[in-house]
Chain A
């Protein structure tokens, strides 16, 4: 049961890391247990539920379907980067709270990251139907989605520019 080890360099939320990792280590486990960034959660480890969604060079990716070595030389953005300070939340995070878009909070980081990229990229104000489809790669078992769609809808109508700025911050 020999495993190879590899030296990787990765930027996460703007901070540079250099680590030696086993070839088979998942990116989700690397972020959570090596870097102790436990905000990204693991729901299924087969790429369906979206809880592990992060941005890799600005694009949403399932960290459970990537190996840490595949992130060598890349820039990763996780939920921990979204709040502007210890005392403020981003408009999207505040909207999730306002619209009761979370209950247990386990799927929430994946939704926030997915929505951040979506709101950055969407060109016109989307309909609720379009938002629901854009979020259909993230599963929630608690909320029934209404509050989540409400939150994204509010930001889509009002604050897309500031969210877009955030999504760009950590791209390489």
Chain B
């Protein structure tokens, strides 16, 4: 047994079954008498529904039911809004469209049949009469347009206008030596986990309980929402998220199908399964990232920041299923690692005839970092300083923590950075990539006709937000400790990391600890996986619970043997009285003894507590702020626009790492998502609201041939905010990647400083056009 499991690169428990092909993903679950669903989705972006005729569909052999809005009754209401905001005029989705459809993909009807093939045949038989309406052509068109209003009672397409500020921005601009202004754009993308969304609802006539196998990142949230909508008790709903094939954000929210499938199962009294196919996923699962950012930055001629104004316009798609988290986080993330004395930021959130928008890996931070880091590059050019130097001058120093930024963060608490070392993160990354000697290297490569550049970007990321996370721990009769958590896993390795934490806190071997996640029956309350929170919170709940359980074990053994707790020791799954080998009891037997060894027996007289189990929660005082810095070296071919990444260096602070192997896996995976988000993954809609990039043929995901092996350097800045000193590690690999890569491409094409790249994703056509417009190439 190692001296500490926490901090060790323990190989994963999950892997044996997964490499054998014995994972249990929702579509792998087979239940007798299962029926299969398919959703009729709108093929137009904006229309009034005039009529729906399902007669022919219902008559098709093998079809058991076809539901439209009329058939759902009171269940067909707009969903509750999970994250309210006082300035938001929310319009949330509902299970099936009633009078209007507002995006290509919006659900209109639900068919249940013997198999998916027949269900899809039935979709083709549904007769739909639609009166098409003008769709929002672009984001700006949606904001100003009067003929394309999605939710007519609102009068326009503005979902929200809100802002935050601190300091005296007017004064900052009045005394500035230098003001730089730019307009930057980020475009739509999609998380595209390898497993699409899937649901299997299994009703139980005898108990009235419904079991829902669900690819959700938040089982307890899904359970609560479904119970609320069906007007039943949470106790009548059991949500199980088994093995889930990637999440990244899109699987956290509650979807229409999460009502349709259970509704049908209950109505038909048969299990009903629905599996989204990939082409459907492009129209049915949330997307993110279209934003327009206009900023002006005031500074001294030495490059010291004085103040900044930022205005963003955010495309939320046809509804707000979750809230205005993404633009809110963008606004609060822009200041980043810098001392920015004055700041004024405003967001306008706009409804558009596109798939709804909720957080995807980064959750608005890639856009924010793009804004600030491009601003710093621009400022560097303006004042004639090196890009690294202008940043170094403005970093919050390492001894300034806790540091109050002056804003309120998305969890409602003040934005207070708890720990970090931003100058060190930059120094380590730039040293590693050889930035100091790059000027000469670049000139020599250019002389050979090669366009090579270095770009970089830093970030600060709020992680580990509340309200809480849970763990229930119990010693079973075999002596193993079984742990259930509100955590849900889509690849993060919680079965392994939470067992590591418990093993240390209990003083037991990891092999004697079994962790399950993603099951609402396992623990009464839970929250789930999003916003890089579980590494900090679920681990803390387990640590607290394990310490409580250890004390219970000792108190119970003390009562049994009638000795003081100090006279006991726990080793090899056995509690012993020190120096008295005959007074020992295996944990499993202790569990039996303390919970009533047999009916009618008497418990030990000094025993205060029944059984060996406990439920623990960790409730953070505020978010904990991870940070990092990416430096990227790229080679650009200005004729083809292709960008090749030569080196990718990461400095990464996630506080204490529970399992360094898993942390590096998260960073590397995040970098892949970041590279994809910077160069490849773009969802394009035409002005008619049709998705142009609606399959993997057009929406490009980076492969092993495109993604570099990140060189990861750890910055050690543990947090005082939780018992593990851990910060989230799930998104840091992604957040600064677009900013760093775009900066590198610009440096490759214009080494002497010129600002030409104002958007991401940056496809080959964008690079070529910029290269031509900016004079890097002649034709």
Contact = CB atoms under 8 A, between A and B. Distances in A.
B669 A103 contact: yes
Given A46-B696, A96-B15, A144 B669 contact: yes
A136 B672 CA distance: 14
Contact of B704 (A98, A112, A149): A149
B19 A93 contact: yes
A39 B22 contact: yes
Contact of B18 (A46, A108, A146): A108
A11 to B, nearest CB: 18
A24 B23 contact: no
A170 interface: no
Contacts of B389: none
Given A39-B22, A97-B15, A139-B701, A103 B194 contact: no
A60 to B, nearest CB: 15
A104 B491 CA distance: 4
A157 interface: no
B21 A97 contact: no
A32 to B, nearest CB: 8
Interface string A44-73: 111011010000000000000000000000
Interface string A99-134: 010111111110010000000000000000001110
Given A104-B491, A146-B668, A38 B278 contact: no
Q: Which of B15, B117, B490: most chain A Cβ within 10 A? A: B15
Interface string A13-41: 00000000010110000001100111111
B707 A104 contact: no
B670 interface: yes
Contacts of A147: 665, 668
Nearest to B492: A103
B244 interface: yes
B12 A141 contact: no
Given A44-B278, A80-B20, A143-B669, A104 B245 contact: yes
Contacts of B19: 79, 82-83, 89, 93, 96-97, 102, 105, 108, 112
A116 to B, nearest CB: 12
A146 B709 contact: yes
Given A109-B21, A144-B672, A45 B279 contact: yes
B731 interface: no
B571 interface: no
Contacts of A144: 665, 668-673, 707, 710, 733
Tell me the interface secondary structure of chain A in the complex: loop
A24 B117 contact: yes
A8 to B, nearest CB: 17
Interface residues of A, number: 59
Contacts of B670: 144
Interface in B678-708: 695-697, 701, 703-705, 707
Given A142-B491, A143-B669, A43 B701 contact: no
B728 to A, nearest CB: 16
Interface string B100-121: 0000000000000000011001
B682 to A, nearest CB: 16
A98 B11 contact: yes
B696 A49 contact: yes
A104 to B, nearest CB: 3
Nearest to A140: B194
Interface string A129-166: 00111011111111111111100000000000000000
Contacts of A148: 704
Interface in B1-56: 11-12, 14-16, 18-23, 25, 27-28, 30
B341 interface: no
A46 B697 contact: yes
A143 B14 CA distance: 15
Contacts of A78: 21
A100 B569 CA distance: 36
A134 to B, nearest CB: 9
Contact of B662 (A32, A100, A138, A140): A100
A87 to B, nearest CB: 10
B194 A40 contact: no
A58 to B, nearest CB: 18
Interface string B216-256: 00000000000000000000000000011110100000000
B134 interface: no
Q: Which of A78, A104, A135: most chain B Cβ within 10 A? A: A104
Nearest to A99: B661
Contact of A46 (B23, B117, B278): B278
Contacts of A37: 21
Given A1-B121, A143-B668, A97 B12 contact: yes
B665 A93 contact: no
A133 B706 CA distance: 9
B315 interface: no
B195 interface: yes
B703 A80 contact: no
Contacts of A46: 278-279, 695-697
B60 interface: yes
B195 A106 contact: yes
A135 B16 CA distance: 22
A121 B466 CA distance: 51
B493 interface: yes
A103 B277 contact: no
A102 B18 contact: yes
Contacts of B697: 46, 48
B193 interface: yes
Contacts of B665: 100, 103, 142-144, 147
Contacts of A80: 20-22
Contacts of A136: 703-705
Nearest to A83: B20
Nearest to A26: B117
B709 to A, nearest CB: 5
Given A104-B193, A106-B194, A41 B245 contact: yes
11 contacts: A37-B21, A42-B277, A89-B16, A100-B664, A102-B19, A104-B491, A105-B245, A105-B491, A106-B194, A142-B669, A146-B709
Given A48-B695, A83-B19, A135-B703, 4 more contacts: A43-B278, A51-B194, A83-B20, A146-B710
Please give me the 7 A-B residue pairs with the lowest Cβ-Cβ distance, nearest first: A39-B21, A106-B245, A105-B18, A104-B491, A103-B491, A144-B672, A144-B668
Interface of B: 11-12, 14-16, 18-23, 25, 27-28, 30, 60, 117-118, 121, 191-196, 243-246, 248, 277-279, 490-493, 661-662, 664-665, 668-673, 695-697, 701, 703-705, 707, 709-710, 733
